[in-house]
A and B are shown apart, each in its own frame.
Chain A
Amino acid sequence: MKAAPAKAVGKVDRSRLPEPVRGVEHGFPVIEKSRLANGLRVWTIEHPAVPVVTAILLMRRGAASDPLGKEGLAALTVDMLDEGSGSRSAIDMHEALARIGAQFDSDIGSDAAALTVTTLTRFTDRALTLMADLAARPNLADTDFVRVRQLRLHRLAQMRDMPGAVADRTFVKLLYGDHPYGHTPIGDERALASVTVDDVRAFHGAELTPAVSTLIVAGDCDHGEVLRVASEQFESWTPGPAADPSASGAIPHPARLNIIPRPGAPQSELRIGHVAAPRDTPDYHALVAANMVLGGQFVSRINLNLREGKGLTYGARTNFDFRRAPGPFALQASVHTAGTAVAVREAIDEIAAIRGPRPISSEELALGVAALTRGYARNFETADQIARAAMQIALYDLPDDYFARFVPELEAITPAAATAAAARHLNPERLITLAVGDLDAIAPTLASLDLGEPVIIPADTF
């Protein structure tokens, strides 16, 4: 690829901004796909720029699969996978990862869990073998279980002091109640205390199986070679059922205004939102575009209002969390205590306005779409980025050309269509507001917002 030709180099014209000429094209590389006899999908994407590979093992089981009363089981099980395999202890496993310079992570959300290893190309075989040790042959020993669960309980205790974590955990409970999305993956202290090592073993055996998993390797790699190693290392992984669980359940109707007291807090941690749309909504692209205008970027309406206009916050953002079942739409911000009620009122007004009273203008839409599309290529620079993109395809059954089609799909959205999608999926009457802050300082003004009497939720409720 060659740089665009330089123009007007001799004399700089500062009376207007240079207009980028259109036409930086970028396609997503080909995904090569195979499947092992036990159902494990093996995908590779070649991206040989640097001698690095990222391997992700995606398992389509997450915190939504936690049994009622055992919230936190899925995350605890995934956390136990690196605690030893065969004759190797937990320390031995990490020693082996360290000796190949690996960056290792495990993540879990509501719909899925993923193990990620990034390493140098020359260690690819060893990385895949370790990945199989973790996923297919973990020891899940009782002594390790006791320690890991204890660390998670300590973590939960520490989270009581973190206003963002308190807000996140309480907000999903308010929005979803006992629905499978009604808890964050770490669960809660009471449920975790009731989990046993047998629960962990059973969850691993029944839920974390090759039939629901995809091994994705991106970077400086070769499909045949990855498939050969994966076949050897993962073939002993016991098959299981392939059907995805249905995340369904009644959605509660909580009070519209909720406060968790944090005496003396200098800022209020805010969450405002409601249950919105699933990943497979036909409005997906229109909502992505509408959210850019509303609160999805620095120059969005809400951030410009609350931060640049009123100086109430370091930053405010909105997001549609698209999941297999309808996920939450939420605004999040940490705002100055004295400006809490103003921030809530302004945020709700902005959400209401974008549905029609102040529809999305063509300029706003053009900016939001351009921000997502014109620099699209930079989302696929590293092995890790490419593997994560492929993971989205595997998790939500998207077509292989999904990323190639993203830009034209987004560019086809009209201002009217974006506004209409916002109107369909955002409902100001249903917005639930949660503030973690200094009750005495914020309750009187919040109560004047016409959101009903605030419900006070003790800090240690969940």
Chain B
Amino acid sequence: MNISVSPHTLANGLDVLLHEDHACPIVAVNLWYHVGSKNERPGHTGFAHLFEHLMFEGSQHHDRGYFQPLQGAGAALNGSTNADRTNYWEVVPTNALELALWMESDRMGFLLPALTDAKFNNQRDVVLNERRQNYENRPYGLAPMAMLAALFPADHPYHWTTIGEVADLEAARLDEVHAFFRRYYHPANASLTLAGDIDPDEALALARAYFEDIPAGPRVDAVRADAALDREVRLRLEDRVELPRLYVSWLTPAMFAADDAELDLAADLLANGKTSRLYRRLVFEERIATDVSASQNSREMAGFLQVAATAAPGHALGELERAIVEEIERLAAEGPTDAEIERGRVQAEAQFVFRLQTVGGFGGKSDQLNAYNVFLRNPQYFDADLARYTNATAAAVQRVSARHLAHARRVALSVVPRGRTDLALADSIPAVVQ
């Protein structure tokens, strides 16, 4: 099992990955730029994401909305920004591949001549709406900001969320857009995958025709920053919520680094699904929580494993914390059972195979090939990635739990109803959210 891929690099540095799959008469065009909110600086947060919005507002040779011609050809399309990368994709019927390449190459090569103050101001308003809708006006919506700010120091680029701070968004200027585009949006900092109903020779010829004349920009050096917690940090946030929720996070290794997959498995057996240890104990047996979840959030430079649980009415967050810490210590001391390891192995295999069903969109084969290529310089990593999970042993999961989780150098964030700071963990101090 693998995703067959033929990788090429054009003279200007653009990586082009080709994958054939003729099951459905569609082609996925998936373009990654290796830039995200980690490339921002304090005082200029939210910029990478705001920029992503501007990529849909037209370019020099098609100075109108990006959606119309593509939707008129039957495409689905979208884009997203996270801390480490920005991706853009179209899924087109086979006959519209050339149109998608025309559109993507025009905004890679010719965005700035079409950019106006009016577009910039409009999309800044849209982003401020997005921020209010998805963070400020959403229960627990500010928790990610408080958590990241506590886990990573102020000069670390994971200190802020991708949506950015309001003051920074309001202060952003059009000339910064120009500098950002020149620095990051060029072929040598991008990876293009064409997957689906393609003839590889024809697809490569089209990619060359549309992209090879776009000049390479300056080399983008990898961002480097360190994070370490030397003690427990206890924070609290008052929010418009009915039930208090506890978030506990530990700093963990980066994506694809040693221990990353084992921590993923540890998170699953702790709190993913009704069979997980914490769900059984907190929700099913003791009934002191209404929900619990855990995830290893691994990123390019570092990761954090987070457990979150919402208290049932009448229960304080201290009870939840005690149970979470006990279960982690038990996992670190005794390791998982053979049944848990076997279950994790089958679930990993199934999740990997499920993803093979779709060529495009977020998480489809084209997106995965770009992830492997951009982060590992190895698009053929699918099998090796799955093997990280299927080869994980009980001893390894126990070891990583002991090393990365069984200690108090963590951030515990209590989100409580306004005026009910008594429900927070003892000795918590107010979190500052920008």
Contacts and interface: CB of A to CB of B under 8 A. Distances in A.
B93 A99 contact: no
B97 interface: yes
A371 B24 contact: no
Interface stretch (B170-178, B215-223, B355-363): B355-363
Contacts of A50: 353, 356-357
B405 to A, nearest CB: 22
A266 B198 contact: no
B133 A314 contact: yes
A22 interface: yes
B50 to A, nearest CB: 13
A245 interface: no
B127 to A, nearest CB: 8
Nearest to B241: A161
Contacts of B386: none
Given A101-B350, A299-B67, A378-B26, A7 B98 contact: yes
Contacts of B129: 267, 307, 311-314, 334-336
B404 interface: no
A237 to B, nearest CB: 24
A412 interface: no
Contact of B137 (A91, A157, A267, A299): A267
Nearest to B23: A49
Contact of A4 (B95, B122, B310): B95
Contacts of B126: 307-308, 311, 313-314
A98 B283 contact: no
A162 B139 contact: yes
Interface stretch (A13-21, A64-72, A397-405, A417-425): A13-21
Contacts of B62: 17
A375 B343 contact: no
B25 A1 contact: yes
A430 interface: no
Nearest to B351: A101
Nearest to A266: B132
A91 B285 CA distance: 11
A19 B73 CA distance: 9
Q: How large is the interface on A (under 10, 10 to 19, 20 to 34, 35 or more residues)?
A: 35 or more
A376 interface: yes
Contact of B122 (A26, A99, A160, A311): A311
A157 B290 CA distance: 11
B76 interface: yes
A367 interface: yes
A375 B137 contact: no
A342 interface: no
Interface string B233-247: 000000011110000
Nearest to A369: B72
A21 B93 CA distance: 10
Contacts of B313: 154, 157
B357 A49 contact: yes
B183 interface: no
Nearest to B242: A157
B357 A1 contact: no
15 contacts: A3-B199, A7-B98, A99-B343, A99-B346, A100-B350, A151-B283, A157-B313, A161-B241, A266-B132, A299-B65, A311-B125, A314-B134, A366-B72, A378-B26, A384-B357
Interface of A: 1-12, 14-15, 17-26, 49-52, 90-91, 94-95, 98-103, 118-120, 147, 150-151, 154-155, 157-158, 160-163, 265-267, 269, 297-299, 304, 307-309, 311-314, 334-336, 366-367, 370-371, 373-378, 380-384
Interface of B: 22-27, 61-62, 65, 67-69, 71-76, 91-99, 102-103, 105-106, 110, 121-126, 128-130, 132-134, 136-139, 197-199, 202-203, 205-206, 208-210, 213, 240-243, 273-275, 280, 283-284, 287, 290, 310, 312-313, 342-343, 346-347, 349-351, 353-354, 356-360
Given A52-B354, A336-B132, A375-B73, 18 more contacts: A9-B209, A10-B209, A14-B110, A20-B95, A50-B357, A52-B357, A100-B350, A101-B346, A101-B351, A103-B350, A162-B139, A266-B136, A308-B126, A309-B122, A311-B126, A370-B73, A371-B72, A375-B74
